[in-house]
Amino acid sequence: MTSYEKLDLRYVGTIGSGTFGRVDLAWSEPSKQHYAVKKFSIHDVRGDVTLFETIMVVQEGHTEYVNRERQILRCLDNPFIVKLCINSHLRVCTQMDKFNLFLVTEFVEGGELRDYLGDMSEEDLYAAVRFYSMEIICALRHIHPKNIVLRDLKPENLLLSRDGHVKISDFGLAKVLKGKTYTICGTPEFMAPEILSKKGYGMDVDWWSLGILLFELITGRTPFSGDTQEETFEAIRKGDLRFPDGFHAEAR
């Protein structure tokens, strides 16, 4: 029996990939619904991976990484956050075989937010970014009172539901805080100066990432970047923010 059969699921196709493996689309006959299955390759997690995106996996192990994402998703209930699947048809929301770990979540079929915004006029773009920023803020205000820091807010992790609302889809780098944390992790262009300082940080880093995210959604690029990762970090530390000509005054 395959891992999908153990979960009462039928593999449909692959809909995405990431550092640790891929995201598959699966069908549940009992519930008559599609689900997204995050498939983590044990070999990939232990092998050649990017330090700043996976340092916690190297330190704590792949099983702990997936279990932490599962535990965090279980305590979140917000319309702008992807839901972990726990119901009568999918009794187990995680599964492990010899080579892979699986995490089953709702399928968000609208695709990435960034793709939806791509062909908009300038006026419509500003209105849409304003609307979706409010939904993301609502999600963060649900997450932070639970002492959870997200640490990976970026366009790739924002999906759209069928009815056009945003959903944060990846909590792989999220952590429950018991004070300051010191781990250097995240996507370099979206990392806050506090993360790079190595002096400890809290949930404020998510608000920094939100600002970077909104800048990119409007301009198509991040405000701090360089030819190398270290140049990007140095630009973040300096904080020399320059808005392009024509940047909407209200968006500043």
Q: Which residues are catalytic?
A: 152
- Closest alpha carbon to 208 in 218, 193, 198, 225: 193
Contact 70, 37 (CB under 8 A): no
Burial of 219 (0-12, 13-18, 19+ CB in 10 A): middle
Structure tokens of 1? 């029996």
Contact 167, 173 (CB under 8 A): no
Q: Which is it for the CA torsion 232, 157, 77, 164, positive or negative? A: positive
Q: Count how many residues are written for the chain.
A: 252
